[in-house]
Structures are given as C-alpha cells and as structure tokens.
A = this chain, B = another copy of it.
C-alpha cells in the first residue's frame, strides 16, 4: 500500500468545482475525461503532491447521480495506490471481505482499479488504484 492515490468528490457542476478548487487550494487539472459507460465526467486535480478527483454525473440514474440525490455534493470515495490491484482484491476476497469488484477493471484515466464495498469499511467507499 503506497498511500492515498486520490480523494473522490461528487459535484453538480464540474467547471465551477474546478475553478473553486483552483482558487481555494491551488489545484490544477491533470486529466479530464467523460466516460459514458460509468456515467461520469471526471477531472483529476493535483493539489500539491496529492490528487483530488471531481465527479459529475452524466445522468441522475448513475451511481454518482444517485449519491448526489441522496447525500448532496461532497466526499464520495477514497483511493489507495497499490502495486497489484488483483492481488489486493484476492487477499480481501480470501478473508471474506465484501467487494464491489471481484476482479480489477479499467477505471477513469486508464487506471486499473477495484472497489471495496462500504459495508466492509465502516461506510467508506474505498478504491484500490494500480501503480
């Protein structure tokens, strides 16, 4: 486990959120991408040596759209960088930990990712991101 890869934040208006994070925290956009399959437009921001991922739903009936409807904008998930996503998922699966992804899949920005279910983490949607 290398540490935090990024913190994911659900937003209503991506342009406004980017401008706000630039002004508040000196953020700068590293990547920006629309992924229809996942129902999001996303921006990965650098804040100092760290990353913040802003997620805007393309439609209300998407995972991030349902999150916004239920909770409003705010902290959505936390991602940990690991050497081998498949190995981390296999380790947790062997321990009986509830996963969203049994196997790695391609996430935003071409990253290999796998999500752990919030039921397993005390209410935190947690993601592994491959190096």
Contact = CB atoms under 8 A, between A and B. Distances in A.
A75 B73 contact: no
For this chain, the copies found in one complex come to 2
A116 B24 contact: yes
A23 B75 contact: no
Interface stretch (A29-37, A43-51, A58-66, A106-114): A43-51
Contact of A75 (B3, B12, B52, B75): B75
Q: Which of the four size classes fits the interface of chain A? A: 35 or more
A9 B122 contact: yes
A127 to B, nearest CB: 11
Contacts of A25: 1, 80, 126
A78 to B, nearest CB: 5
Contacts of A47: 1, 3-4, 80
Interface of A: 1-4, 7, 9, 11-12, 17, 20, 23-26, 47-50, 52, 71-78, 80-81, 92, 95, 97, 116, 118, 120-124, 126
